[in-house]
Amino acid sequence: MFGNWLKTTILMAAIVALFGVVGAALGGASGMLIALLFAGGMNLYAYWFSDKAVLKMYGAQEVTADNTQFRSYYQMVKALAENAQLPMPKVYVINESQPNAFATGRNPENAAVAATAGIMRILDARELRGVMAHELAHVKNRDTLISTVSATVAGAIASIAQFGMLFGGGRAENGERSVNPIIGILVMLLAPLAASLIQMAISRSREFEADRIGAEISGDPKALETAEAHPETGQMMIINPLAGRSFDSLFSTHPKTEQRIEKLMQMTHLY
């Protein structure tokens, strides 16, 4: 637990420090403020309204307690939420064959979890319980807030880099360039990439923590051993198959499945 949070803290500090360095080199104080306000505005909107947008995009249908077709799924989420000492989230079903599941919402009081019809067909009850416990762990850990903050800073860095490319970088008070042009070009090109890599590393650290908390919520670390072997899509999902194999440790929002299973298996002696 402490290791994952320490890693997240260090990475958050790193991306903020990168923002300061890049901002001072290319945008100056005014450029940093404009970029941060621009990125913050976009991500604040995403923080408050992205849950409705993503559920609508997937055509998710809400499941209630009196729904007979998905009663066991609803009751499963309810029991897990009680185990996690969380408010009951809204529960959704997505009529797609792809095996997907995700959590969304700005805080535990305004959370929602969704699963596709495909994942319900592929996984048995135990495996699905492990997956939904993982998603509720994201809610409990407020990972939406963490990802929004990291995305805001990464977006601000990208905005400053674009600002530098358009207007030639920061300048001193006498009107001369405040940074070597070659260094400025390198910063403009490499800073957004570095910010993205740090943002992805933050996401991976939160996935490990969600696996751990999810195992505690379900009381069954082995439940995800099979479930995580099923491919799922998107950054919000339990596994992201869109990442390259060779550079998974750098360019993936999710850690390797083998690493996640290994850590879960280390928890089996606790249950």
User: Per-residue pLDDT tens for 182-238?
Assistant: 766 777 788 888 888 888 888 888 888 888 898 899 888 877 665 555 444 344 455
Q: Which of 82, 96, 109, 135 is catalytic?
A: 135
Q: Which residues contact 254 (CB under 8 A, 6 or more apart)?
A: 203, 204, 207, 238, 239, 240, 243
CA distance 129 to 107: 21
User: CB of 94 within 8 A of CB of 55?
Assistant: no
User: Per-residue pLDDT tens for 8-40?
Assistant: 778 778 887 887 777 777 766 776 777 677 777
**What average pLDDT is seen over the chain?**
78
Long-range pairs, 194-198, Cβ under 8 A, ≥24:
194/18, 195/15, 195/18, 195/19, 195/153, 195/154, 195/157, 195/158, 196/154, 197/250, 197/251, 198/11, 198/14, 198/15, 198/18, 198/150, 198/154
DSSP letter assigned to residue 88 = P
Residue 45's identity, in one-letter code, is Y
User: CB of 129 within 8 A of CB of 223?
Assistant: yes
User: CB of 172 within 8 A of CB of 127?
Assistant: no
Dihedral (CA of 189, 32, 17, 158) sign? negative
Tell me the pTM: 0.69
Query: Does 173 participate in catalysis according to the annotation?
Result: no
| HSE-CB for 183 with a 13 A CA cutoff | 10
Alpha-helix residue ranges (DSSP H) falling in the chain: 2-22, 28-57, 71-83, 117-122, 125-140, 143-167, 181-218, 223-227, 248-251, 257-265
Hey, how many other C-beta atoms are within 10 angstroms of the C-beta on 259?
A: 16
User: Per-residue pLDDT tens for 105-148?
Assistant: 888 999 999 999 999 999 999 999 999 999 999 999 988 778 77
Phi and psi at 91, nearest 5°, equal: -115, 130
